[in-house]
Amino acid sequence: MANSHPTFCTIIPPHVLDKVATSGDPDLAPVARHTLETDAKQRTRRQLNIALGVPDEVGIIRGSGPTEHPTRTLHDCGNSTRLPGAKVRDEGQDPGQDATVNRVYAGLGSTFELLLSGYGRSSLDGEGLPLVASVHYGRGYANAFWNGQQMVFGDGDGEVFLDFSQSVDVIAHELTHGLTQYTANLTYFGQPGALNESVSDVIGSLVKQYVLDQTADRADWLLGAEILGPRVNGAALRSLKAPGTAYDDEILGKDPQPATMDGYVRTGRDNGGVHINSGIPNHAFYLAATELGGKAWERAGQIWFDTLTGGALHEDATFRDFAGATLDAARERYGDGEELQAVTKAWATVKVPTG
């Protein structure tokens, strides 16, 4: 399944940038407002193109066939907002002087490698899709996004958010929106949107653990720990281990993610709370992975990957739909053993029904 109108997905949710934009800080607020305005323009442009039927340069592209090696291309926007920018590194070229380019190149490669070696999938579309990214987007732009065709990274403001290439899980998170686009194509609103975000958090965390060769019990289960700046009191953007505890800060506010359905947030903002309620399926994955132990990308990750790519999910899947599908995936691959028990227990703990 492929989405003919890909979704614009950012790593920093609007409610966080809103907090900074209204903080009254003369140094930080203008940068946050500029980031919000830039993101809004991107979203509006896509929505208008869809509504008017305007041909869109951000369409679905596919690889030429499965390959065991990534095809990466890196561009430098030079602090402009014109995409893709000047080409600065092609696949196979040696690292250059720009650390941001080198980090993104490596992160794209690590994500490709986990998808291939862990799950037998050649890139996002299964057909060797080239991986394209642009860095140094905008001036002080405090976000990173997937626009349906490529990755884009800002440099951050240096105070609240640092260079977005510094967290490999952020790179993998945004790429995974592309994986979802080419598979389950979960609608980016409400519960399916929160699942869309959660899958990106899960695979982002798995890529980080894969790069560090960590077992589930040794991982920190934090997303974006490396991009929080010196002005922030917090550990990361999100925590799969303990949703709602990633940060508690005068500028950013308190992490609003719930860990169970008891705290489910009903809101019209942030596409129906996609970055907030994703904490619930995130925590379910953490519980299943730590219950099973070992390398989280193996059994627990395989079940989630099978669920996303197996074709059973519809675009408007709810938490209950997804939970039931993970049980089916666990049973199909592993039978009625400890894998099925761990997944069942995890969803029960976060109070999502699976029947």
Catalytic residue status for 174: yes
Residues 6+ apart with CB under 8 A from 66: 122, 126, 127, 128
Decide if 73 contacts 135 (C-beta within 8 A): no
Considering 34, 75, 136, 174, which one is annotated as catalytic?
174
Question: By C-alpha distance, which of 308, 142, 151 is closest to 237?
Answer: 142
Helix (H, G, I), strand (E, B), or coil: what is residue 88? strand
Distance of CA 46 to the CA centre of its chain: 20
Q: For residue 52, how many other CB atoms are within 10 A of its CB?
A: 7
- List, in sequence order, every residue forming a beta bridge with 239; answer none if it has no partner: 222
Give start and end residues of each alpha helix (H) in the chain.
Answer: 14-21, 29-52, 99-119, 168-181, 190-212, 270-273, 279-292, 299-309, 319-334, 338-349
Catalytic residue status for 250: no
Considering 75, 275, 283, 339, which one is annotated as catalytic?
275
What positions carry a catalytic annotation?
A: 174, 275
